Amino acid sequence: MDIAAQLATVTLFHGLDAHALAAIAGLGTPRTLAPGEILVEEGQLNNTLHVVLEGKLDISLPASPERLRSIHLRTCRAGEVVGEYSAFDQDLVSAQVQAITPCEVLQIDASELDAMMLKSAPVASRVYRNVIRTLIRRLRDKDAELDILVPF
């Protein structure tokens, strides 16, 4: 399967036509990760959107002097994106991302994606709508998780 076809399965890019998907694929650089390899570290600067094409990534808050143990946040699989918080808000990375299995990711420079979206309002509208849907889904999932963990 080519990268543009794989991007069609990525939530962030749902609804984009083949031309837009091919253009986004052209912005990216493939990267292979071995199990245990760290993709991004908490507290670092990041301007890259990482699209998971194959494999599984662990997203966690690593143990530190302030945090006595590592806290698992979620597992990211093919078709998902990591690094979007810091890539879009240009703040520091909020969690560590580490390969669980062999992974293939497509790294897209956020400024290049932004420049592309500035040239195409329909692409920008679709991508940002999908970003909002993704973030809302994550919030709803965390709310449901808290309902289980914190009895009233």
Q: Express each pLDDT in 62-108 by its tens digit.
A: 888 888 888 888 899 999 999 888 888 888 888 999 999 999 999 99
Q: What pairs with residue 82 in β-bridges? A: 50
Instruction: Provide mean pLDDT across the span 31-49.
Output: 93
pLDDT at 135: 85
The domains of the chain, with CATH numbers, are 3-110+119-149 (2.60.120.10)
pTM of this prediction? 0.85
Residues 50 and 29: their CA atoms lie apart, in Å, by 10
110-119 vs 18-27: helix axis angle to the nearest 10?
A: 150
pLDDT at 122: 94
Report the first-to-last Cα separation within the chain, whole angstroms: 48
pLDDT at 147: 64
Q: What pairs with residue 55 in β-bridges? A: none
